[in-house]
Amino acid sequence: MDYAPCRLCPRGCGVDRTAGERGFCGGPDRALVAKAMIHRWEEPVLAGAGGSGAVFFGGCTLGCRYCQNRAISFSPTGREVDSEGLRRIFLDLIGQGAENIDLVTPTQFLPTILPALEEELPVPVVYNCGGYERVDTIRALAGKVDIYLPDMKYSDPALAQALSGAADYPAVAAAAIRAMADQVGPARFEGEKLAAGVIVRHLILPGQVDNSLGVLDFLAENFAPGQILVSLMRQYTPMPGLPAPLDRKITDREHDAVLSWMYLNGLEGFVQEAGAADAGFIPDF
């Protein structure tokens, strides 16, 4: 894992970030920490009573048109931090009662993050990512990540290209999620808290029910019951300037169709209430 030439994500820009060059993500050669906070809105098995110790990193390897965190993802922002500084942030969050360390959109800064995780932390480490990951990247995280929290955004390559500029997303994410599940194994709980495992998130997009059904088909066909958990999200909140149908929230009918398919496929996990589609849940960056 190195910043030069940078091939941390599937886009494989190959730029020399140590010389000031910037690739797709726009990141420098030290981590950009946009916000570190106790985050109480993750899945209940993660947040627990103390909340997740969320560290939001600036920039992104996907750049989805509808991104809710665009304030930090479209134009990489944050405080530049080295590995030692990042470790101090982790320990400070744990000191505040964080149930885990939740790395949000971290891939573009792995050369800084990995040394900060060299010494085991007293809480689980969560890798919270968009699912667009190289299998080699997942392998480099072995022994340092306890819980993977990837998105599976698309089953339709054309939609992935239109909304994220990544027609290869379905195939790339499928391989990455398989690697995650192979690495950490089935979900393991300590009481009501998840200690290890994979939770695959899927955000239902307005007007794209078929895409969601395809994602659920893939998960049901490729993973045995209990091998992964699924988090079906209805929190889509339209950002300004998006065209139809992205300019609206999902309907109850769309949500119910996807939720029914999740249950018919025997997938286990979590669902969101309609109230989750509220800009008030987006962190203030």
Residue 4 lies in a domain: no
Q: What is the CATH number of the domain that holds 269?
A: 3.20.20.70
Question: What's the pLDDT score for residue 158?
Answer: 98
**What mean pLDDT do residues 39-54 have?**
92
Q: Is residue 118 part of a domain?
A: yes
Average pLDDT of 89-116? 98
Structural domain contains residue 32? yes
The structural domain count of the chain equals 1
Q: Please name the residues in contact with 168: beta carbons below 8 A apart, sequence gap of 6 or more.
A: 10, 157, 160
User: Across residues 184-189, what is the average pLDDT?
Assistant: 96
pLDDT at 280: 55
pLDDT in tens, 217-253: 999 999 998 899 999 999 999 999 999 999 999 999 9
Establish if 10 belongs to a structural domain: no
The 3-state secondary structure of the chain, one letter per residue = CCECCECCCCCCCCCCHHHCCCCCCCCCCCEEEEEEEEECCCCHHHHCCCCEEEEEECCCCCCCCCCCCHHHHCCCCCEEECHHHHHHHHHHHHHCCCCCEEEECCHHHHHHHHHHCCCCCCCCEEEEECCCCCHHHHHHCCCCCCEEEEECCCCCHHHHHHHHCCCCHHHHHHHHHHHHHHHHCCCEEECCEEEEEEEEEEECCCCCHHHHHHHHHHHHHHCCCCCCEEEEECCCCCCCCCCCCCCCCCCHHHHHHHHHHHHHCCCCEEECCHHHCCHHHCCCC
Is 11 domain-assigned? no
Give residue-wise pLDDT tens across range 1-20.
899 999 999 999 999 999 99
Q: Is residue 31's pLDDT more than 60?
A: yes
Q: What is residue 275's predicted lDDT score, i.e. its pLDDT?
A: 62
CB 219 within 8 A of CB 201: no
Residue 139 lies in a domain: yes
Domain that holds residue 147: 17-281
For residue 183, is it within any domain? yes
> What is the pTM (predicted TM-score) of this model?
0.95
Are 28 and 4 spatial neighbours (Cβ–Cβ below 8 Å)? no
Q: Region 278-282: what's the mean pLDDT?
A: 55
